[in-house]
Chain A
């Protein structure tokens, strides 16, 4: 038997084992798996007038103005808010507003509530959600589709990859439109016409139209890159972007990284804590300065790395290796966390492998499987 055929059979066994496990899980639970439940909560809000507390202090006067006395404020508070009982709070004649919020119920809570007539611990009703259920199945499919790359490149993975790219591009286009073009270009140019889009813009802080139009012109000039003849026009806004970005970052790096890091490296070799010699801190500072100087020598290329310089540079390499090792270990930790988060989603949200009441028994498996078969046939 060839090596590849052996491998194929081996993996087939693994996948069959996994499929049987999933079927066992589905049959062993009274409510199956992959279902999502939600609960609705309705809150009523009242408009109230909040008067300043007795003896409240007037605001600090601005230059050339007198002190400003605190004014009444109109706010909406929920019907269960303790603020309604305060003496300086009175309801207005405005009609109350009721808002219904729908929130997801964790599978473990939905399962626990299943035997309580679908009621949660506080008496709230949990109902089956078609939309959330479809969402969980789509998320599970795409998670498995991306994982399938571990097997090798395949059409399912390609499909999932394409969807991610397409959705991301669309998402950022919408975000850019609503967070950049509308508030930073359209609103300053036509604030009244754009009231429907950004109703709360403070009229006291009008942005100059010129300051909005100039970036717009530079933006349009960038699009000239698409033209083979007029491509040079895009160099001007590009030069502006490169110049300003470089200047802003240079200042930040000099202040926060260069000067501040030199200052941070000026540490005493002998540290005393509460009047006693602190071995740990002292040793830490010696290692810090030694490591810093030896690594700097390693990156100093004006002298050939021979003799004493070579030995110090070699010592610096050890510090670099330890730093790379620490960075790699941190990266591994991060990646494993992401994997465990995805598996938690598959196990808890999708497959319902949680078993809070010990329902995974042979009897439940057989009876549920028999019930399912009876339903099908």
Chain B
């Protein structure tokens, strides 16, 4: 048995992992979520603002991380829509512009369309090259960085931008971030210099750890990875359910993906334990046979 495990083809491990993820997708596992304090903080920041507040919403990710970040971006956008906040949508990642437009069409206009007219209640600023330079400039002069919106209209002719000369006019920043440029740059170049504007973020699991030190003074709340998204969906669906009183179908994506997380993590922990046991047994066997290691 020991010899078999020591020489086990790693492709069997891949197959096991594939099955651990695939089976809960086909046969979903029911879950009960207790939202964490961080997810609750994000919800409270958006919810406590008076209806119609100005929210800058940045889609700083691309399709490579869409599976992890789109659920939380959509849930936060839905929440902003229910609060009728004025939305200023932009992207620091090129494809983020398209992902943001899709989310607006599929979530905001679908569930809060009566309250949203383009140019009067929300505007899409689109994507600009320049990484953190975009934040650095727009934080003091928005039209310098974004001369027009995505439809080619000068910002001075868009009603929702009346009185908005720069990002400092925003009440809240929501950044959904996959890496650099993203949440860290927003904190460094905007929030730390102008702390009047509050910030919440949703990030990939990889990036989450590096953002914890900014909580709570520079970052009011954070949704970390798919678990954060699932928690947020739970809170939003509880307070703002769909038209039929049930959870909004589009806002159950992250909760659905927690099933594969459970089985895959159980498998991974098992593999780590088995791997270490096999290693220790192999070492003991080598010592007993006088080989040593």
- Residue with the highest number of chain B CB atoms closer than 10 Å, among A151, A171, A172, A179: A179
Q: A175 CA to B120 CA in the complex, in Å?
A: 28
B209 & A340 in contact (Cβ 8 Å cutoff): no
Q: A171 CA to B64 CA in the complex, in Å?
A: 15
B156 & A204 in contact (Cβ 8 Å cutoff): yes
Distance from A322 Cβ to chain B, minimum over Cβ atoms (Å):
11
Q: Which residues of B contact A3 (CB under 8 A)?
A: 7
B117 & A338 in contact (Cβ 8 Å cutoff): no
- Residue with the highest number of chain A CB atoms closer than 10 Å, among B143, B157, B205: B205
Q: Which residues of B contact A103 (CB under 8 A)?
A: 105
Taking A200-B154, A201-B148, A340-B21 as contacts, is the C-beta distance between A331 and B129 under 8 angstroms? no
B152 & A341 in contact (Cβ 8 Å cutoff): no
Taking A151-B11, A330-B224, A334-B205 as contacts, is the C-beta distance between A340 and B152 under 8 angstroms? no
CB closest residue in chain B, given A81:
B117
B188 & A253 in contact (Cβ 8 Å cutoff): yes
Q: Which residues of B contact A57 (CB under 8 A)?
A: none
A263 near B: Cβ within 8 Å?
Answer: yes
Taking A255-B193, A256-B218 as contacts, is the C-beta distance between A338 and B143 under 8 angstroms? no
Taking A82-B114, A340-B25, A343-B22 as contacts, is the C-beta distance between A330 and B217 under 8 angstroms? no
Interface residues in B190-210 by Cβ distance below 8 A to A read 191-193, 204-206, 208-209
Q: A180 CA to B129 CA in the complex, in Å?
A: 7
A176 near B: Cβ within 8 Å?
Answer: yes
Contact for A336 among B21, B208, B217, CB less than 8 A? B21
Q: Which residues of A contact B205 (CB under 8 A)?
A: 330-334, 337
A337 & B128 in contact (Cβ 8 Å cutoff): no
What are 16 A-B interface contacts by the 8 Å CB criterion? A83-B117, A151-B11, A199-B152, A200-B151, A255-B192, A256-B218, A330-B209, A330-B225, A333-B265, A334-B226, A336-B21, A336-B261, A338-B64, A339-B18, A340-B21, A347-B25
B213 & A11 in contact (Cβ 8 Å cutoff): no
Taking A255-B193, A343-B22, A347-B25 as contacts, is the C-beta distance between A263 and B217 under 8 angstroms? yes
Q: Which residues of A contact B22 (CB under 8 A)?
A: 343, 347
Interface residues in B119-164 by Cβ distance below 8 A to A read 119-120, 127-129, 132-133, 136, 143-144, 147-149, 151-157, 159, 162
Q: Which residues of B contact A205 (CB under 8 A)?
A: 143-144, 147, 154, 156
Where chain A touches its partner, the secondary structure class is helix
Distance from B195 Cβ to chain A, minimum over Cβ atoms (Å):
9
CB closest residue in chain B, given A346:
B22
Where chain B touches its partner, the secondary structure class is helix
Interface residues of A (CB under 8 A from B): 3, 7, 11, 14, 59, 73, 75, 77, 81-83, 103, 150-151, 171-172, 175-176, 179-180, 183, 198-202, 204-205, 248-249, 252-253, 255-257, 260-261, 263-264, 323, 326-327, 330-334, 336-344, 347, 353
B32 near A: Cβ within 8 Å?
Answer: no
- Residue with the highest number of chain B CB atoms closer than 10 Å, among A14, A180, A340: A340
Q: Which residues of A contact B257 (CB under 8 A)?
A: 337, 340-341, 344
B9 & A334 in contact (Cβ 8 Å cutoff): no
A257 & B188 in contact (Cβ 8 Å cutoff): yes
Taking A330-B225, A334-B204, A353-B26 as contacts, is the C-beta distance between A183 and B218 under 8 angstroms? no
A7 & B260 in contact (Cβ 8 Å cutoff): no
Q: Which residues of A contact B227 (CB under 8 A)?
A: 333
CB closest residue in chain B, given A342:
B67
B189 near A: Cβ within 8 Å?
Answer: yes
Distance from A97 Cβ to chain B, minimum over Cβ atoms (Å):
14
A176 & B129 in contact (Cβ 8 Å cutoff): yes
Q: Which residues of B contact A73 (CB under 8 A)?
A: 159
Q: A19 CA to B105 CA in the complex, in Å?
A: 38
Contact for B67 among A7, A171, A198, A341, CB less than 8 A? A341
B166 near A: Cβ within 8 Å?
Answer: no
CB closest residue in chain A, given B210:
A327
A332 & B268 in contact (Cβ 8 Å cutoff): yes
Contact for B153 among A77, A82, A200, A333, CB less than 8 A? A200
Q: A323 CA to B212 CA in the complex, in Å?
A: 11
